[in-house]
C-alpha cells in the first residue's frame, strides 16, 4: 500500500496468543459466552491470522473441568435421576456440546479441549505442578488454616457452590454469594458471608478449620500499583480494566452500621491501630481503615465476638491456591502436605499456557516453543474476558506472573519469564435490560436456541456491533421477547437483524452484481487493470482506519467502518453502471467492473474476521487462493497482483459462474416465512 506510507501505521507483534476464557463444564454455552467473549475473540484472532500469518497465531480455550459449580451441577442431576455416569462423563458431555456450539458459530479455535481432558489435561497437570512448586520455591506460598463451611446434618464439608448467602463486600447487593466469591466476582473470607445456608440440607453450616496453600497477593501491592499506572498511561487499555484493578489496591476497610457506633467506641481501644471516618452525609455506615490485611482480620474477629455487624472493602487478600474437594487438578505434595486439589481459579489462569503447549505438541514443535508466544518481546497475549473476572486476570494473574521472577516458569532463565498480557475486558451483555445467568431467575437463551432463529453470521455481526467495550448493552432477540404479543407483530423490528441486513442485502448485492455482470458481458471473466484513483484512495483510507480500530479492539467501530465502506462500494457500482449503460460506453462499463471487483476484494478482507464463511465463498467464486486473498501483505493497488502473469497479459481473470438468484449471505429459513 505505497500511498499509505505517509500515514503512520500501527505495529503488530510477530506472534500472538488469543484466549477466550474457560466456560465451566456444567452447562451449555449461552448468548453471553458466545457474543460477549468467544465471537469477539474469534474475530480478532481471524484478523491476526490474516495480518501476521496463521502460523504465528494461537487461539486457545477449553472447558473448565473443575470447580464447585461442576460438583454441584452433577450432584443435582444425579439426585434427580437425570444423569447416571461419573462426574468425568458429565463434564465430557458438556464439553462436547460446548465445542459443537462454538463450531456452529464459526469460532475458529486452534484448540478447545479442557483442563482435565486428554493430552491437554496431562499437560495442564504438568504446568500446574510447575507453577505451584516455583511459587513455593520463591517463598510466595503460605500454608494457612482457615475456616470452611461444614454441614453437620449431611456430615460433609461444603464446596463453594453448596453454600449461598449475601455478599459481605460493601456496596455489593448480590444475593448470589457463595462460600468465598459472589456472582459479581468479589472475594472475601468464608466467615464473612452473610446469612449462609447449605444447599444440601437448608441448614446453617458450621465453620471448621482446614489447611490450604495461599499466595501472598498483598505482598505484591507495590508491583500492582506500578503496573496499574502503566496501564493508565496506555490509551488503548479500556478504562474498566484500570478501574477494577484500582478498587483492590485501596487500604483494608471495615464498614460498620451507624447504629453500632456506641458499641464500636466502647471497644475501639482493643482494636489494632486504625483510622476512624464518620459516615458521609446520606451514608448508613462509618469506616475503620487499617494498615494491612492482618490488622483488619484481627479487628474483624473482635467485632464479630461483640456481635457487631459489618462489611469489608475490596482489598488485596491472600489468594487461595488449593482446596479440599476431591474433583480437581491434583496439587503437588509440598512439605508433606498431601491430598489437596487446586482451586479452579488459579489453575484456569495458567490453563492457556497448557493449551498453547498442547497445540504446539500436536504440530510437532519443540516443547519449549511455548516461550515464543508467551515470553518473547515480539509476542503478545490478548485475553478476552468479562468484566466480572478482572480481579483474577487483572490483579491475581499479574502478581503470579511477577512472582516467578527471576527464572521463569521452568527455571530456564529470562527466556522462560512470562510477559504481562493484554486484557480485553467487555462489559455485561444483558438479556433485554437484565443481567441473565444460568443459575438466576432470568434464563438466557443457549447458542443452540439462537441458531433456531438466526444464521451464525447474522448473530456474529450483531454481537460485534454492540459496543461492549464501552458499556453494558442489551441483547433483545425478538423471538425471545417476554412480551408474546410483540413476537409475531410485524410492526416491531428485530434489532438482531439490523447488521444482518447489511449482509443479506447490501453485501450480497455488490457481490452478485459483479459476478452477473462478468458472466453477462465479459465472458465469465473479471477484467483487470488499474482502479480509479478515488476508489484506491477510499480503500486505502478504510484499510488504515480498520487497522487502527482493530489495534484498539474497538469491534463496534470496525463494524461501523465496514458498513460505511460496503454501502459506499455498492453505490459506486450502482451509479457507475447506470452511467455506463445510459451512455452505452463499453470502456466505462469495463472500468466500473474493475473498480467494483477491487472494492469487493477489499470488503471481503475487512469482513473476513466478522463473517468468514460468506467471504470465503466469494473468494472461492473469484478463483483466488484463500492465503493470498485474505493476506494483508500486498500493495492493494489492483487485483492484478493476485493473478498469474498470463492472465495479466490477457487482461482478464477467469472466475466461477454464479448460479441464478445465488446468495453469499442467506437469511435464516425462518425469516423467509
Residues 121 and 150 in one domain: no
Judged against a pLDDT cut of 80, whether residue 462 lies above it is answered with yes
**Residue 352 resides in a domain:** yes
Q: What pLDDT digit, counting tens, does each position of 365-396 carry? A: 999 999 999 999 999 999 999 998 999 999 99
In the predicted structure, residue 438 carries a pLDDT above the cut 80: no
For the chain, the straight-line distance linking the first and the last C-alpha, in angstroms and rounded, comes to 46
For 16, 393, 599, 602, 635, the CA distances from 536, given in Å and listed in that order, are: 30, 42, 9, 10, 11
Closest CA to 238 of 556, 14, 646: 556
Which residue in 17, 107, 123 sits closest to 60, CA to CA? 17
CATH number at 106 reads: 3.40.50.620
User: What mean pLDDT is predicted for residues 62-78?
Assistant: 90
Q: Give residue-wise pLDDT tens across range 493-533.
A: 999 999 999 999 999 999 999 999 999 999 999 999 999 99
Q: What is the mean pLDDT of residues 632-658?
A: 94
Instruction: Mark whether 85 and 29 lie in a shared domain.
Output: yes
- Same domain, residue pair 642 and 514: yes
**In this structure, is residue 591 part of a structural domain?**
yes
Confidence class of residue 247 from pLDDT cuts 50, 70 and 90? very high
Tell which of 450, 465, 480 closes a domain.
465
Q: What is the pLDDT of residue 413?
A: 67
174, 314: one domain: yes
- Out of 292, 323, 354, a domain closes at 323
- Mean pLDDT score across all residues of the chain: 93
Query: What confidence tens digit (pLDDT) does each residue in 604-620 have?
Result: 999 999 999 999 999 99
What phi and psi, each to the nearest 5 degrees, are found at residue 95?
-60, -45
Predicted pLDDT at 222: 97
Question: Does residue 410 sit in the same domain as residue 535?
Answer: no
Does a structural domain hold residue 331?
no
Mean pLDDT of 147-155: 85
Q: Which domain holds residue 131?
A: 15-140+343-465
CB atoms within 10 A of CB 228: 22
As given in the structure block, the three cell numbers for residue 209 are 478449620
Residue 628 lies in a domain: yes
The confidence score (pLDDT) of residue 160 equals: 74
Domain tally for the chain? Answer: 3
User: Which of 291, 323, 355 is the C-terminal boundary of a domain?
Assistant: 323
pLDDT value, residue 494: 93
Q: What is the pLDDT of residues 12-26, one digit of tens each?
A: 999 999 999 899 999
> Does an H or E element contain 473, and which?
strand 473-475
State the pLDDT at residue 186: 75
Q: Do 115 and 152 fall into the same domain?
A: no
- Residue 606, phi then psi, degrees to nearest 5: -70, -40
- Would you state the pLDDT for residue 147? 83
- Specify whether 661 is located in the same domain as 563: yes
What kind and span of H or E run contains 19? strand 15-19
According to DSSP, residue 638 is labeled: -
- For 451, other C-beta atoms within 10 Å of its C-beta total 17
Share of the chain above pLDDT 90, in %: 79
543 and 457 within one domain: no
What integer pLDDT is reported at residue 619 of this predicted model?
98
- Element (DSSP H or E) covering residue 401: helix 397-403
Full DSSP string of 303-328:
HHHTT--EEE-----PEE-EE--SSS
Q: Give domain status of residue 1, yes or no.
A: no
Of 46-50, 66-70, 118-122, 359-363, where does mean pLDDT reach its minimum?
A: 66-70
- 632 by Cβ neighbours in 10 Å (0-12 / 13-18 / 19+) ranks as middle
Do 314 and 205 lie in one domain? The reply is yes
Q: What is the reported pLDDT for 161?
A: 75
Residue 415 lies in a domain: yes
Percent share of the chain, pLDDT over 70:
97
pLDDT surpasses 70 at 185: no
Q: Are 546 and 662 part of one and the same domain?
A: yes
Is 4 a residue whose pLDDT tops 70? no
pLDDT of residue 414: 67
Same domain, 605 and 552: yes
Q: How confident is the model at residue 155 (pLDDT cuts 50, 70, 90)?
A: confident
Assess if residue 227 is contained within a domain: no
Residue 586 has pLDDT above 60, yes or no: yes
What integer pLDDT is reported at residue 436 of this predicted model? 67
**Residue written as cell 487502527?**
548
Q: Are residues 112 and 170 in the same domain?
A: no
Q: What is the pLDDT of residues 110-126, one digit of tens each?
A: 999 999 999 999 999 99
Question: 33 in a domain, yes or no?
Answer: yes
Q: Residue 631: which CATH number?
A: 1.10.730.10
Q: Give per-residue pLDDT as tens, 311-365.
A: 889 999 999 999 888 899 999 999 999 999 999 999 999 999 999 999 999 999 9
pLDDT at 40 over 60: yes
Residue 205 CB contacts under 8 Å (≥ 6 apart), including other chains: 149, 150, 151, 152, 158, 163, 196, 197, 198
Amino acid at each position: 500500500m505505497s500511498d499509505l506510507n505517509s500515514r503512520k501505521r500501527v505495529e503488530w507483534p510477530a506472534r500472538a496468543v488469543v484466549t477466550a476464557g474457560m466456560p465451566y463444564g456444567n452447562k451449555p454455552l449461552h448468548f453471553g459466552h458466545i457474543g460477549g467473549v468467544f465471537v469477539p475473540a474469534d474475530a480478532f484472532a481471524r484478523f491476526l491470522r490474516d495480518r501476521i500469518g496463521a502460523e504465528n497465531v494461537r487461539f486457545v480455550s477449553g472447558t473448565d473441568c473443575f470447580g464447585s459449580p461442576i460438583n454441584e451441577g452433577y450432584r443435582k442431576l444425579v439426585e434427580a435421576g437425570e444423569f447416571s455416569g461419573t462426574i468425568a462423563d458429565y463434564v465430557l458431555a458438556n464439553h462436547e456440546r460446548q465445542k459443537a456450539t462454538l463450531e456452529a458459530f464459526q469460532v475458529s479455535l486452534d484448540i478447545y479441549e479442557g483442563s482435565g481432558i486428554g493430552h491437554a489435561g496431562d499437560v495442564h497437570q504438568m504446568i500446574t505442578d510447575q507453577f505451584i512448586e516455583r511459587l513455593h520455591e520463591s517463598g510466595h506460598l503460605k500454608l494457612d488454616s482457615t475456616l470452611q463451611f461444614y454441614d453437620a446434618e449431611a456430615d460433609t464439608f461444603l464446596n463453594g457452590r453448596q453454600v449461598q448467602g449475601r455478599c459481605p463486600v460493601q456496596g455489593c447487593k448480590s444475593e448470589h454469594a457463595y462460600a468465598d466469591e459472589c456472582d459479581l466476582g468479589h472475594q472475601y473470607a468464608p466467615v464473612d458471608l452473610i446469612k449462609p445456608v447449605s444447599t444440601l440440607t437448608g441448614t446453617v453450616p458450621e465453620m471448621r478449620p482446614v489447611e490450604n496453600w495461599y499466595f501472598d497477593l498483598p505482598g505484591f501491592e507495590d508491583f500492582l500499583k506500578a503496573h496499574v499506572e502503566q496501564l493508565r498511561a496506555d490509551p488503548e487499555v479500556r478504562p474498566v480494566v484500570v478501574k477494577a484493578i484500582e478498587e483492590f489496591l485501596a487500604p483494608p476497610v471495615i464498614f460498620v452500621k451507624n447504629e453500632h457506633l456506641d458499641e464500636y467506641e466502647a471497644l475501639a481501644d482493643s482494636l489494632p491501630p486504625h483510622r476512624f471516618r464518620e459516615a458521609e452525609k446520606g451514608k448508613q455506615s462509618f469506616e475503620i481503615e487499617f494498615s494491612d490485611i492482618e490488622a483488619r482480620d484481627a479487628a474483624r474477629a473482635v467485632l464479630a465476638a461483640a456481635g457487631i455487624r459489618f462489611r469489608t472493602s475490596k482489598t488485596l487478600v491472600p489468594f487461595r491456591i488449593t482446596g479440599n474437594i476431591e474433583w480437581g487438578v491434583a496439587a503437588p505434595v509440598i512439605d508433606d502436605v498431601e491430598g489437596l486439589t487446586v482451586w479452579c481459579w488459579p489453575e484456569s489462569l495458567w490453563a492457556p499456557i497448557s493449551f498453547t503447549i498442547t497445540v504446539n505438541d500436536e504440530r510437532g514443535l519443540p516443547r519449549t516453543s511455548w516461550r515464543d508466544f508467551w515470553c518473547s518481546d515480539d509476542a503478545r497475549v490478548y485475553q478476552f474476558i468479562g468484566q466480572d473476572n478482572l480481579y483474577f486476570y487483572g490483579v491475581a494473574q499479574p502478581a503470579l506472573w511477577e512472582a516467578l521472577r527471576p527464572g521463569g516458569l521452568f527455571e530456564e532463565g529470562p527466556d522462560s519469564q512470562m510477559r504481562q498480557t493484554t486484557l480485553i475486558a467487555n462489559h455485561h451483555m444483558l438479556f433485554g435490560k437484565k443481567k441473565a445467568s444460568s443459575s438466576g431467575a432470568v434464563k438466557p437463551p443457549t447458542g443452540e436456541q439462537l441458531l433456531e432463529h438466526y444464521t451464525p453470521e447474522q448473530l456474529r455481526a450483531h454481537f460485534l456491533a454492540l459496543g461492549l467495550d464501552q458499556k453494558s448493552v442489551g441483547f433483545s432477540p425478538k423471538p425471545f421477547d417476554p412480551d408474546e404479543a410483540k413476537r409475531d407483530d410485524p410492526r416491531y423490528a428485530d434489532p438482531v437483524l439490523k447488521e444482518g441486513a447489511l449482509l443479506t442485502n447490501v453485501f450480497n448485492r455488490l457481490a452478485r452484481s459483479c459476478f452477473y455482470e462478468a458472466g453477462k458481458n465479459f465472458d465469465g471473466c473479471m477484467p483487470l487493470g488499474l482502479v480509479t484513483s478515488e476508489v484506491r484512495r477510499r480503500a486505502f483510507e478504510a484499510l488504515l482506519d480498520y487497522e487502527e480500530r482493530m489495534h484498539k479492539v474497538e469491534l463496534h467501530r470496525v463494524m461501523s467502518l465496514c458498513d460505511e465502506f460496503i454501502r459506499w462500494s455498492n453505490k459506486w457500482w450502482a451509479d457507475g453502471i447506470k452511467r455506463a449503460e445510459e451512455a452505452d460506453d463499453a470502456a466505462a462499463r469495463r472500468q466500473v467492473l474493475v473498480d467494483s471487483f477491487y472494492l469487493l476484494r477489499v470488503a471481503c478482507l475487512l469482513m473476513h474476521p466478522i463473517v468468514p464463511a460468506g467471504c470465503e465463498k466469494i473468494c472461492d467464486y473469484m478463483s483466488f487462493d484463500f492465503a493470498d486473498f485474505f493476506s494483508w501483505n500486498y500493495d492493494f493497488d489492483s487485483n492484478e497482483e493476485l493473478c498469474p502473469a498470463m492472465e495479466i497479459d490477457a487482461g482478464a481473470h477467469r472466475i466461477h459462474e454464479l448460479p441464478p438468484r445465488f446468495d453469499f449471505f442467506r437469511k435464516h429459513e425462518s425469516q423467509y416465512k
